[in-house]
Amino acid sequence: MFCYQCEQTIGGKGCTKAGNCGKDAEVAALQDLLVYELKGIGFIGNELLKQGKSIDKEISKFVADACFSTLTNVNFDPERFICFLKEAEKVKENLKSQLKNLPSNVPECVNYKLPNSKEQMLQDAKKAGIMYDQTLDANIRSLRETLIYGLKGMAAYAHHAHVLGYIDEEVNNFFYKGFAATLDNSLSVDDLFNLTMEFGKINLKCMELLDKANTQTYGNPVPTPVLITKKKGPFIVVSGHDLKDLYELLVQTDGKGINIYTHGEMLPAHGYPELKKFKHLIGNFGGAWQDQQKEFDNLPGCILMTTNCLQKPRDSYKDRIFTTSIVGWPQVQHIEEKNGKKDFTPIINKALELGGFTEDEPEKTILVGFGHNIVLSLADKILDAVKQGQIRHFFLIGGCDGARPGRNYYTEFAQKTPKDTIILTLACGKYRFNKMDFGTIGEFPRLLDLGQCNDSYSAIKIALGLADALKCTVNDLPLSLILSWYEQKAVCILLTLLSLGIKNIYLGPSLPAFISPDVLQVLIDKFNIKPISTPDEDLKVILG
Ligand code: SF4
Ligand code: SF3
């Protein structure tokens, strides 16, 4: 196997025997083969689009879901990948049958026939490997992989929008264009670079679509204190990013004496009016995703994983962790959707059987719910505070969390920001500091939680809104972006920020292994991307 799509890739180069994430060589091979099939589908879909045809939205939904399944820490179940592969083969043949003329010289994956046996699939997967073509130019490989990882991230956001009934054809169509481009030998490094920027803009549309889906379905988030301590009684912990799964579970547990805790990226759910109205959405449990094995150990309640980040379940909680949607782990119970409905009875019964926490802890809360709607409604007051010198600078400290020690940088950075600065945060990286007291500036808390990683859209809207009010560009604002990345959603967000011309981003804890030195140089030259150094050094440079 060879995989280098995430930040914890072994040795900062690539996982070759097994993944640091828990992915084994078999699953890695099946994922490679699925991406190979997606490239074939992309090629045919792109030809259809060039001929002015449209592609059925159910097919595009499948493409996004299959793509999402290969994202880090989502699915580890070989059987699920075999199902995806078989469906991909059908989709490919279906699209081919709609195409008038298939060009004569097509890439091999277009006419590849999926074998029946897993053994043969594993054999075939070799030619789908990232490093299979040893002669490929390093910069072309780097940009092709960057695009694929961006697509994986966008696929997650398209999936969440889709389950709420929100679809955008332009977003859907880019999956075909993007995958087709990774097969096109006529594209130069410049062409591919430009395509990643085009992709960044499409991903912005996708995040905007998801923002619309979430806010039109569940209301605009409002500032909300969230309990971070335990309450007596049976409970279910809901992790991942999917608000619809949480909503459905809240409906099905209503009045059953079960408390629902959010976990990881589900924390911002507490700010949505249509979710917070459920009194048994009681609080937030635990820290960031990488602490789950320790925190779920012998937990007297259940866990529902709606998306990444899933780690290998320990035996002590394997009987009480459930997956749903795209997530999977072999032999872990999976809640399937049937006729558009999910039946959460097994997890509800198990939670009741386990009995839950036996006593209340002394209460502590944190504040969430600072989406673009609320922050921009305060724009005048914020700008006044800036003009009067009460607010000197804004820091967006956001992105993914992870297990590496280098990530303490983000905790220290947040702690060292001066008292006259505001910290905006989003995604799961916030767990490094979101339970600390940063105090207030006038009526504003110094720490404003904008939401999940996809709520980078909120950050962008806020930055554009402030720039507009101050009649300057985002790059001229007293704002610095201090980003941490781990998986491929961070890749699509970074490409969006760059496509908007946002400069001087600090990126860490390490740089992506799939970015070649030449591509990195382009990013430095064009956007002045900076690897993080130390909080003191970086703060000194930023605050002059
Ligand atoms: Fe390694 Fe990350 Fe790939 Fe897992 S997803 S195999 S940790 S590079
Ligand atoms: Fe976190 Fe896995 Fe990326 Fe949505 S949950 S940000 S790492």
For residue 359, being part of any structural domain is answered with no
Q: Tell me the ipTM for this assembly.
A: 0.98
325 and 390 housed in the same domain: no
Task: Tell me the whole-structure pTM to 2 decimals.
Answer: 0.98
For residue 366, being part of any structural domain is answered with no
**Number of the ligand closest to the Cα of 485:** 2
Which protein residue has the closest C-alpha to ligand 2 atom 7?
400
244 and 309 housed in the same domain: yes
Dump the DSSP string for 273-340: HHHHT-TTEEEE-SS-GGGHHHHHTT-SSEEEE-SS---PPPTTTTTTEEEETT-B-TTSEEE-EETT
**Number of the ligand closest to the Cα of 76:** 1
Last residue of a domain, one of 157, 185, 209: 209
For residue 364, being part of any structural domain is answered with no
Cβ neighbours of residue 99 under 8 Å, at least 6 residues apart?
44, 47, 48, 51
pLDDT of 403 reads 85
Last residue of a domain, one of 144, 177, 209: 209
199 and 318 housed in the same domain: no
Total number of domains constituting the chain = 3
Last residue of a domain, one of 327, 354, 381: 354
338 and 398 housed in the same domain: no
487 lines ligand 2 (CB under 6 A): yes
41 and 142 housed in the same domain: yes
CA quadruple 514, 516, 522, 527: dihedral, nearest 10:
30
- How far apart, in whole angstroms, are the C-alpha atoms of residue 193 and residue 191? 5
For residue 506, being part of any structural domain is answered with yes
Cβ(19)–Cβ(2) below 8 Å: no
**Number of the ligand closest to the Cα of 1:** 1
- How far apart, in whole angstroms, are the C-alpha atoms of residue 486 and residue 150? 13
Token match 């937030």: residue? 284
Cβ neighbours of residue 265 under 8 Å, at least 6 residues apart?
239, 240, 241, 289, 307, 427, 428, 452, 453
486 lines ligand 2 (CB under 6 A): yes
pLDDT of 405 reads 80
Q: What 3-state DSSP class applies to 257?
A: coil
For residue 320, being part of any structural domain is answered with yes
| pLDDT, tens only, 73-102 | 999 999 999 999 999 999 999 999 999 888
156 lines ligand 2 (CB under 6 A): no
For residue 362, being part of any structural domain is answered with no
Which protein residue has the closest C-alpha to ligand 2 atom 3?
400
37 and 67 housed in the same domain: yes
Ligand 2 atom closest to the Cα of residue 399 is 6
pLDDT of 406 reads 85
- Closest to 1 measured CA to CA, from 22, 496, 515: 22
- Assigned token pair, 397: 């400290």
- How far apart, in whole angstroms, are the C-alpha atoms of residue 94 and residue 48? 12
Cβ neighbours of residue 52 under 8 Å, at least 6 residues apart?
none
349 and 392 housed in the same domain: no
How would you class 73 by CB atoms within 10 Å of its CB: exposed for 0-12, middle for 13-18, buried for 19 or more? buried
Ligand 1 atom closest to the Cα of residue 5 is 8
Instruction: Give the distance between the most distant pair of CA atoms in the chain.
Output: 70
pLDDT of 101 reads 87
8 lines ligand 1 (CB under 6 A): yes
**Number of the ligand closest to the Cα of 16:** 1
144 lines ligand 1 (CB under 6 A): no
pLDDT of 91 reads 98
Q: What 3-state DSSP class applies to 421?
A: strand
347 lines ligand 1 (CB under 6 A): no
Dump the DSSP string for 161-205: HHHTT---HHHHHHHHHHHHHTT-TT--HHHHHHHHHHHHHHHHH
For residue 365, being part of any structural domain is answered with no
489 lines ligand 2 (CB under 6 A): yes
User: Which residues of the chain have a pLDDT value below 50?
Assistant: none
From 68, 486, 507, the mutation candidate for ligand 2 (largest count of ligand atoms within 8 A of CB) is 486
Cβ(266)–Cβ(287) below 8 Å: no
Specify the amino acid at residue 15.
C
From 9, 13, 24, 489, the mutation candidate for ligand 1 (largest count of ligand atoms within 8 A of CB) is 9
15 lines ligand 1 (CB under 6 A): yes
pLDDT of 281 reads 98
- How far apart, in whole angstroms, are the C-alpha atoms of residue 150 and residue 167? 18
417 and 528 housed in the same domain: yes
309 and 401 housed in the same domain: no
The residue segments making up the domain with residue 344 are 224-354
455 lines ligand 2 (CB under 6 A): no
Ligand 2 atom closest to the Cα of residue 428 is 1
**144 vs 36, 64, 138, 150, CA distance in Å?**
13, 18, 10, 10
- How far apart, in whole angstroms, are the C-alpha atoms of residue 135 and residue 188? 15
For residue 363, being part of any structural domain is answered with no
Dump the DSSP string for 26-53: HHHHHHHHHHHHHHHHHHHHHHHHHTT-
471 and 425 housed in the same domain: yes
How remote is the CA of residue 4 from the centroid of ligand 1, in Å? 6
Cβ(183)–Cβ(107) below 8 Å: yes
Q: Residue 349 belongs to a domain with what CATH number?
A: 3.40.50.2030
Which protein residue has the closest C-alpha to ligand 1 atom 3?
3
4 lines ligand 1 (CB under 6 A): yes
477 and 530 housed in the same domain: yes
Which protein residue has the closest C-alpha to ligand 2 atom 2?
309
21 and 120 housed in the same domain: yes
Handedness of CA 16, 18, 24, 28 (dihedral sign): negative
Dump the DSSP string for 66-126: HHHHTSTTTB--HHHHHHHHHHHHHHHHHHHHH-S---SS--HHHH----SSHHHHHHHGG
23 lines ligand 1 (CB under 6 A): yes
- Assigned token pair, 512: 């992506």
pLDDT of 85 reads 98
- How far apart, in whole angstroms, are the C-alpha atoms of residue 446 and residue 436? 11
- How far apart, in whole angstroms, are the C-alpha atoms of residue 16 and residue 345? 40
Cα end-to-end distance, the chain, whole Å: 46
Ligand 1 atom closest to the Cα of residue 3 is 3
